Amino acid sequence: MFNKDCYLDHVAIAVSNLDRAQKIWEDIGLTFNSEREEVPSQQVTTAFAHVDEHAHIELVCPINEQGPIQKFIEKNGEGIHHMSFKVPDVQKKTEELIAAGYKMIYEKAVPGANNCLVNFIHPKSTGGVLVEIATTQKV
């Protein structure tokens, strides 16, 4: 049975060249949205491709030599960065997770791509996987 209140929204892939990475995924068969989005709070440009009715592939490319994605690529190389799940209220879920003992990247939700509020569960709390939670409502 599916939980309609929490579902996979996207798998984010850190890339150093957005055009090159997008071509790879298009060659596989995905179609990307025509518009890219710059997310200043994360210092990235994003490109999204639908996989199914909910899930996407998100390519995230640093816009400068700073920011978390640039640091990730320097440390790990290009590759899967995080999984994102949509939840009804990201701040409420953040508070629930903190109360349950999870370590969050931010104390409160921050602006993310697609005008959503987001937060990240630290990989130390999830067996090594960076997990993003995001609102289903636009901000």
Average pLDDT over the chain reads 93
Q: Which CATH number do you get for residue 68? A: 3.10.180.10
Residue 2 counted as domain residue: no
What is the pLDDT at residue 138? 60
Range of the domain at 97: 7-135
Residues 6+ apart with CB under 8 A from 63: 38, 43, 44, 45
pTM of the model: 0.89
Considering the domain boundaries, does residue 109 fall inside one? yes
Provide the number of structural domains found in the chain: 1
In a domain, 74, yes or no: yes
What is the tens place of the pLDDT at every residue in 62-111?
999 889 999 999 999 999 999 999 999 999 999 999 999 999 999 999 88
Decide if 41 contacts 111 (C-beta within 8 A): yes
